[in-house]
Structure formats: structure tokens, C-alpha cells
Structure 1
Amino acid sequence: MPYIGHTGDLEKRMQEHNSSMSHSTKRGHNWQVMYLKEFSTRSEAMKHERYLKSSAGRRFLIRLLGKPWPRGGVRPKVLGTE
């Protein structure tokens, strides 16, 4: 299962996840960005995060990324600013 979240500082957040500083990802290491979408406001980002965590959003991610979730050397799917 992928980790889904939003942040204002992706580089810092990835360091936190990969160094086990984040409670939600303490057991995992080498987290990679597989999907990235930028928004102008935090509320838009949170709305999209809720969508991705829904069954429709999970189906969207499976169509976009495939399943099982790709591992190692995966380039993120980057969509434009909303």
C-alpha cells in the first residue's frame, strides 16, 4: 500500500520519511516519490489527498502506476500545477 500525503517541502519530508523521523513510515526505508501533483493552495492539496485515499482515487493510482506498486528506480508521474 502506498503512503499518500501532502507537504509544502517535499525534499525535507522525504528526508524525514527515509530517516524514520516520521511516525507513519517508521518501518519503511527508501521511500520514493511515485506521483506528484502541485497545487496553489493547501486546501486543494488536502482535497486531492482525500480523493487519492478513496476507492476511486486508488483505482486512479492503479491505472496510472500499475499494481503491484512499482519499486526501485521509478520516476514520479508529475502533473502540472492546478
Structure 2
Amino acid sequence: MDIYYVYAIKSEVDGRIYVGFSLDVEKRLKQHNAGKTKSTKGYRPWRLISTEEVLSRIAARAREKYYKSGVGKDFLKSL
């Protein structure tokens, strides 16, 4: 069974927050900062502000959706 990580990164350019999930957060952060992700490319550099371990891809997707909601986004902004 794979362990997934739901992560939130913050742009050091304009403070926007991006939420995603991955099996390897460090590798994924490097991809964001290397400009390999279309939606985050223009807002580099990024720094990790939150990670959460979950036990399945389905659970990771559910948590990602929560953090992209109003309540979840407010929580991330408070970090």
C-alpha cells in the first residue's frame, strides 16, 4: 500500500497557495520549482507550507478537494 502526501505550497512571488498530492513531496516540489507544472510555472519559487500523510489515493484526492475549498483554503492561509 502506498502512502500519499497532500501538500500545500506557497508562491514567494505573490503569496498564492497551490494544493496537490503526491507519493514523493520533495520530488514534486522540485518539479514545481523547475517550471515543469503548467499551472504553477509563472509563480516560482515555491515553498512547502504543509504536508499531510494519507493512506490511499482516494483519501488524498478527498483531502486535496477539502484544502481547495473555502474552509480549507482559509486554514492554509492561517499557517
Q: When the two structures are superposed, what TM-score results if normalisation uses the length of structure 2?
A: 0.73
Report the counterpart of residue 2 of structure 1 in structure 2.
17
Q: How many residue pairs are counted as aligned between the two chains?
A: 64
Q: Percent sequence identity over matched residues?
A: 36
Change in CA separation of 1:62 and 1:28 when aligned onto 2, cut-off 3 Å: closer
Report the counterpart of residue 46 of structure 1 in structure 2.
61
Larger radius of gyration: 1
Residue 27 in 1 paired to residue 42 in 2? Answer: yes
Per-residue Cα deviation, 1:11-45 (whole angstroms, up to 9, x for no partner): 21111110101111111222111011010111111
Instruction: Determine the C-alpha separation between the residues in 2 that align with 1:11 and 1:23.
Output: 18
CA drift at 1:62: 2.9
- The answer to which structure has the higher strand fraction is 2
Q: When the two structures are superposed, what TM-score results if normalisation uses the length of structure 1?
A: 0.71
Instruction: Determine the C-alpha separation between the residues in 1 that align with 2:68 and 2:29.
Output: 19
The aligned amino acid for 1:22 is T
Specify every segment of 5 or more residues in structure 1 that has no aligned partner in the other structure, as ranges: 66-82
